[in-house]
Amino acid sequence: MKTRRQTRDRLVPHTIDGKTRMVPDSETVYLPVPPRDWDQIGINTVTGIVALALLGCMGFSTASIGDLLSRVTPAPAAYGAAALFDLAWIGCSIIEWLARYTPDRAGKARAGGYVALAVAMGAVASHGWIAGGVATGLVGAAASGLAKGLWAIVLDYQAAPLSRRDSAYFQQELSEAAVELARIPVRRRVNRARALVEGEQRALEADGPAAPELPEPAPEAPAVAPEPPDPNVHPLRGTVVFTRNAVQDAWDSGLRDPEQVLRYVRNATGKDVPQSSVERYLRALRVGA
């Protein structure tokens, strides 16, 4: 068995004066070499041949068709248009390869590639027939046919054959992935439309007359139930009533409770008379009595 030498770096413990550290060290190992994959080498070789054939075919077809078209159009435009003849069927062949897991879609690309190839071969044959005769035209057109045929054989060999069920399964997988991918632009368009509607509404509201701002209503004071009138209290009719006189009138009316006297005095004077003043006058009246 063939082997190949390989040097690897690794960390190993190394101790000096009782202190150990991990230091790098190299190690040489010999790994087995797998046998050559001649099948893959053959595929790579054929793929290279196909690439060279396509380049040669495209160069020859472009030169031939470009010379034919340059008889009636300027050379740059003629050769630019001539390159499209081969690029058309080459592009269809690439799409056919990409759609190898969906045979229905690959069939359309295959048919389009053969149609484009027939047009290119016809153009090359026409130039050869005009320039050198029928044989020259047929041989020149065969170059494109050989390149296309070789590529078709390579693609058909590398494409994995799928059963009907496998193909249906992969088509459903691709369909679900396509739906998820399609949601991105659709969601973007929906969000943009909603933003435009919202902006339109705000613009219309800003252009309209502004509504007058109403003052906030003052908080209502809590309702207090009125105290029932005291039958023993008679309000005094006068312009100015002093606290001492109001206490005297309450005393003469037979009121002795300080709370009742205080309410009477505040009602008579219309002031927030302190309770200490009322009690002082009441003490004086009790002492005199």
pLDDT at residue 289 is higher than 70 = no
Q: Please provide the average confidence, as pLDDT, over all residues in the chain.
A: 81
The confidence score (pLDDT) of residue 240 equals: 64
Tokens, residue 190: 């929906």
Mean pLDDT of 213-230: 50
Mean pLDDT of 27-36: 86
Mean pLDDT of 139-167: 83
**For the chain, which residues make up each domain, given as ranges?**
3-32, 41-161, 164-197, 243-288
Nearest C-alpha neighbor of 60 from the set 159, 139, 162: 139
Range in 10-14, 57-61, 268-272 the model is least confident about: 268-272
Nearest C-alpha neighbor of 113 from the set 89, 97, 91: 89
Of residues 170 and 211, which shows the higher confidence score? 170
Mean pLDDT of 2-28: 89
Mean pLDDT of 61-67: 90
Q: How many other C-beta atoms are found inside a 10 Å radius of the C-beta of residue 20?
A: 9
pLDDT level of residue 216 (50, 70, 90 thresholds): low
- Judge if pTM exceeds 0.85: no
Angle between helices 134-158 and 75-98 (to 10 degrees): 30
pLDDT tens profile 223-263: 444 454 455 555 545 556 778 788 888 888 788 888 888 88
The confidence score (pLDDT) of residue 32 equals: 87
The confidence score (pLDDT) of residue 20 equals: 92
pLDDT tens profile 95-124: 988 888 777 778 888 888 889 889 988 998
pLDDT tens profile 75-102: 889 999 998 888 998 899 889 888 887 7
The confidence score (pLDDT) of residue 230 equals: 55
Range in 26-30, 201-205, 207-211 the model is least confident about: 207-211
pLDDT tens profile 168-199: 888 888 888 888 888 899 989 999 998 888 88
Mean pLDDT of 29-42: 86
Contact predicate 143/57, CB 8 Å: yes
Write down how long the chain is.
289
The confidence score (pLDDT) of residue 232 equals: 57
